A and B are shown apart, each in its own frame.
Chain A
Amino acid sequence: MPHQCTNCGRTFADGSKEMLSGCPDCGGNKFQFAPTTTAAAESADGAGTDGSEAAETASGSADASSSEPDNVATRAAETVRDWVSADSADDSGPDATEQPPSAGSTAAAESDRSWPASDDADSSDSESPSDGEFEEWPETARRPEDRSGSPAAAAPESTGTESDEQSHSQTPSNRPSNGPTATMADDENSAQADARSEVVPSDDLPAHSERSEKGDAESDADAGSVAGPHSEAKTGAGVESDDADHPPEHGRVVSEPSGQRPSIEDLRAELNEQFESIKIVRPGQYELNLMELYNRDEYIISLQEDGRYVIDVPDSWHDGDEDD
């Protein structure tokens, strides 16, 4: 239960978006980040538990409880490579002459290049018709371990070929049985499992048209539940990769599975650098990703050093409107 309403105590899974519109139970908009080992985190360092420490704890617990750190790492790795390759593809050299080595500079530099489409600066990667789904994309802004496997889990599927098979066999069985997240993320996970269980091995599929439909249905279901940025790519790959021996000729190949797997720490660092809008280096020291802050729908109006934060909930504005 990484997120908890400080008002009524309701907890939310990693990657849950429920709280973005206020606590469904009490309407509160103040939450705290509480990794699965809440007690440990709190007792470890009450006042000093800042974001990075919370992240450490979360990742630690994720590693321990998931019992499949490699899968997490792989999926996240592919997501990261995806982003990186998308970045480098259009990287004709950022104009900014100043490249401070701060966190967020990568994303910021990318943002520099993507001004004209600043509202979907992230969509250069997704190229999906359902971009609207990603406008909020807090999923991608999360740390890998926070992502409840959703977009990351979709990533390997987008590679088509063998990783496709791999993830089909792994994900449905691993995800729901994955203790800590299963209880809270039931909705997401069952939806994902549903979506994935509809995918039959490519050999069993009779014709392109039908498979295409299935692919779409799957993609829709997936996008509906988790807004995975790769749903479109996945559909494309599903249609194209008739033969598991050949990689798809066009469409994005996110990555080939490789023996070199970056450590979860590397991934977290990289993702933090790219997606986190406010990084609490330690109390009183912050690094900000301006483009992320600009692009986010919700916005953090209060930071607290104990890992708590208050987000602005759009509904609360409407309440005010009614008083007029």
Chain B
Amino acid sequence: MGLFTELKDSISRATDRLFSEQEPKRIGIYGPPNAGKTTLANRIARDWTGDAVGAESHVPHETRRARRKENVEIERDGKTVTIDIVDTPGVTTKVDYEEFTDEMDEEDAIRRSREATEGVAEAMHWLREDVDGVIYVLDSAEDPITQVNTMLIGIVESRDLPVLIFANKTDLEESSVKRIEDAFPQHKTIPLSAKEGDNMDEVYDNIAEYFG
């Protein structure tokens, strides 16, 4: 609770100064579980600040609380764009501890599941109040047309937030960027592999252009 209060305070302070130009935009990294959001957040943070944001894992729902990295300064064409990146828990409509029981004992799996559910609630709450732009990360090896994706992108659109779609995991054989482009033709889709660091130049160009 204390942590949250602190976070909230800093958010409301930031909101008060929302219109001052110096204030970095808060960019939420959203997407379904295991799309590579934290890997991307870590890649961006490491590239520009040297620090990581959070732990990555192949087990879904590793990120169960939103994490922020403030004042990430991205240099493009001699200009500097400063953003805060918020790595959010993966959003889903179902959480089942049995998904994790291969990796951990049942008690831990249940706890992870509960925390993941709280994380989704937090992510949705942040989306409503606290982000100025959205990077929507998708696993390009998976079918992008899901209820969660359609709904979240719809919410972002309804709020008129700038959004970039990142087709992550292009290093995988089954990856299909076109499938994502076709699913959301109204938005710019950028292919990348956050894990391998592929195409990060285009990623940063677009971040600077959309959120700068």
Residues of A that sit less than 8 Å from B by CB: 29, 95-100, 102, 104-105, 108-109, 111-112, 115-119, 277-278, 283-291, 293-296, 299-303, 305, 310, 312, 316-317, 319-321, 323-324
CB pair A320–B94 under 8 Å, yes or no, is no
Tell me the chain B residues, 120-150 only, with Cβ under 8 Å from chain A: 120-122, 124-125, 127-128, 145-148, 150
Q: Are A299 and B9 neighbours in the complex by a CB distance under 8 Å?
A: no
Determine chain B's interface SS by DSSP, over half rule. Answer: helix
For the complex, give the distance between the alpha carbons of A303 and B6 in Å. Answer: 21
Query: Which of B12, B110, B113, B148 touches A290 (beta carbons < 8 Å)?
Result: B148
0/1 string, B1-23, CB within 8 A of A gives 1: 10011101100110000000000
Within 8 A of A (CB), among B55-92: 91-92
Is A96 a contact of B13 with CB atoms below 8 Å? no
Interface string of B30-64 (1 = CB under 8 A from A): 00000000000000000000000000000000000
Across-interface contacts of A290 in B (CB, < 8 A): 91, 93, 120, 124, 148, 151-152
Cβ contact within 8 Å between A112 and B151: yes
Contact A115 B94 (CB under 8 A): no
Per the bound structure, the CA–CA distance linking A289 and B148 in Å amounts to 10
In the complex, are the beta carbons of A288 and B9 less than 8 A apart?
Answer: no
Given A100-B93, A288-B93, A317-B8 in contact, is the A108-B158 Cβ separation under 8 Å? no
Given A108-B151, A112-B150, A303-B117, are A316 and B5 also a contact pair (CB < 8 Å)? yes
Q: Pick the 10 closest A-B CB pairs, nearest first.
A: A284-B97, A284-B110, A115-B154, A293-B124, A286-B117, A115-B158, A118-B158, A320-B9, A284-B113, A317-B8
A115 touches B157 (CB 8 A): yes
Interface residues on B, range: 35 or more
Of the listed residues A109, A295, A299, the one surrounded by the most CB atoms of chain B closer than 10 A to its CB is A299
Check if B155 is an interface residue, CB within 8 A of chain A. yes
Q: How distant is the Cα of A290 from the Cα of B128 in the complex, in angstroms?
A: 11
In the complex, which residues of chain A have a beta carbon less than 8 angstroms from the beta carbon of B114? 283-284, 286, 303, 305
Find out whether the CB atom of A294 lies under 8 angstroms from the CB atom of B117: no
A302 to chain B: which residues have CB within 8 Å?
118
Q: B190 interface residue, CB < 8 Å from A?
A: no
Most buried by A among B12, B114, B147: B147
- Which partner residue on chain A sits nearest B143 by CB separation? A98
Given contacts A115-B155, A118-B155, A294-B128, contact A301 B94 (CB under 8 A): no
Asked if B96 is at the interface (CB within 8 A of a chain A CB), the reply is: yes
Complex: A317 Cα to B2 Cα, angstroms: 10
Docked Cα-Cα span, A321 to B147, in Å, equals 38
